[in-house]
A and B are shown apart, each in its own frame.
Chain A
């Protein structure tokens, strides 16, 4: 190519030729259309299932995209990637396995973290509760030993009891709300992941479609 050939208007006008040649190129490498369509259907089904299971939008999309891309890479013949066919297959399997295993592990880690925090809070509230109850009982015993004459001790005994029961009540209500929230959080994610795993299994022929 000499300097005179660098005529950009001509070059850009000719660029449309590239489109027809690329169409021809991809026509010569048709791949496995039936399997690609199956992967597309699976991807749509995964997305639908995840939405139906009310999984948060971003999470559903990232799960679906990652797994569906891996399915597609696994199912189609990735002729355009570098390396031998065997190396490409190995890479595709690795990606698929990573996607199938890391997502549930990540959710498990989140749930575990929540459980640890829950336990710390439980122990804290329980300690406060026990301390309060012990103080209340101490005042009650003092009141009983005074023969019930010391009315001020009786009134003083009720206040710590109320104070002692308050943390316990707060703890109980809090734990119920936390458990409900955790269930709400976990259930859609579990359902979405189950749907994804099912689709992957069906596509890879590990399980029959039921």
Chain B
């Protein structure tokens, strides 16, 4: 009877609280059950897409579209977190170069089936190269929304002056015209009209030249570098030659304003995208109307340009895939594509949209339409960003003559192949066994620590049935003592799952290459031994964060503690009235939300209107750019942290002060000891245990610095306030490099343990 009512009470209590919470959660989700789709768009598109969404709703009653504008800077991060959290939008705009990455994450729905049933969408209606940006391993993962390509902008008048009545149509012409254009107009010995502008490091533009010659960066199966092939080598050579022959300048390129250079003729030719038409027209003004034009890229074998732009994709988490697809179909109609161009000047991805009479009087835009038939896109692999980065680095070295062509292509081949093979290179069998060994040693270490620790624990006497043993004994004791076990099981389970287990799992994770792809597919995770820790040693930002954290602790802890001690001593004076009022006021910052405090202090530190600079100015000191100066940012955080924390330690110090017996002071007074002597020989020694406690807890807290820099500086300026935990957060929850972030966490844990032990040793030595 007793047991039944116990269980019954348990069941009722737990189920009621569960129901209550579920109710609250359901209630907030209930609204979403209608046919509503969420569409994310970025930057300028994000601002305008709502107009198209309203049109879509009119055409498709019953479907509601919620549009969300995501700034480009936050787009990648937002998309990734939403995918990892399993709550992505239904439809999103996705840059062509992001397709492979999100596909590898398993985030995108293959659209082949939808396409096969669609009347609006099929491959032939789109520009082939733009369509291909959606093609991964033979499946289609998105539909082109708008496209973007590059053409030549040139000064007609200057070319005519040099004797050419047409833009460069081939590489030979480009070189010839370029040479003819180079001039020193004012005769000061310095060239003030070059042949053209070309970037020193831009994989986009260089790739176009490679493709024009029929070359490639990777082999057709994307498994190896192909930059040493003849066609690609020729393209590198040609591109480099334009610099060598001084048709293109190297040094000035960075600091010249392009519009100014185009107007003055410093750069009579440059390569750019569709948005430039309007900009150049506005910047150069009427007077230059008709003196410049655009033209397709010059050809070697093909007049190839680069294709970019954005696709529309459906996410795997979507519950309204059909409605999402309808939205994409809607956006792919030629009329809608033209309309979208009118709103935002994004080039239509649908070929037939270009036949619209709207484009008849826009010859320059039509050149882009023409060019789109001869375009290519970079390989659709998640490693592309890294390869592009390597390409730009080597390209710069070649152009600045730090390496010759032969060396450049050799090292680039090595770079690219290494990037492509990295996965296999890291995950070797040896690493696997090393990792397993490390895990075993780790678990053994934990067990060893526990054994040493629990030997000191004396078990209470419990009457035991001596005759039975082993499993039977456990079962019988469970039966006999099931009440207390039932009472402790819920909390023990939580502590085990969320505290004990993670200590081990975190260590195991730190020995793997668990990243965003591993989150999507467990098979992509492999053991890499101590690779993460080795990478950490080479990670400059990690060292910086470590330095900053130590700075914060070593300067901040003594500062905060002495402040607390000072105020405790002041408050401990007998003659002070309203003690509890002061104590409560000083304590208020402690209980105040850190984020709110950080936001308020960001306002106090504001260089122009902040309170702190006002105080400085009223006492005649110069104002400072507190959070914007690399030297001042960290001290500013320290001051704020001390303000927030001193009340806590002050209360502990006060308790410590009151624990010092009055008789000691009385005796000292009788002996004629001065105030300072009493402070030095009674108060301070009496506070030693308190100081020790306060130092250790404050230090542990300060080592975990995160909220202040996250809210106030985001780790800047120039990483001067990035902390270890912030770095870990960025790696773990922005880039989802779980293995790497775990390694950072363990290192920090190690540092904290070492410092705590050091403190304990010091404390013991002092007695």
Question: A and B bound?
Answer: no
Please give the residue numbers on chain A whose beta carbons come within 8 Å of chain B beta carbons, in ascending order: none
Please give the residue numbers on chain B whose beta carbons come within 8 Å of chain A beta carbons, in ascending order: none
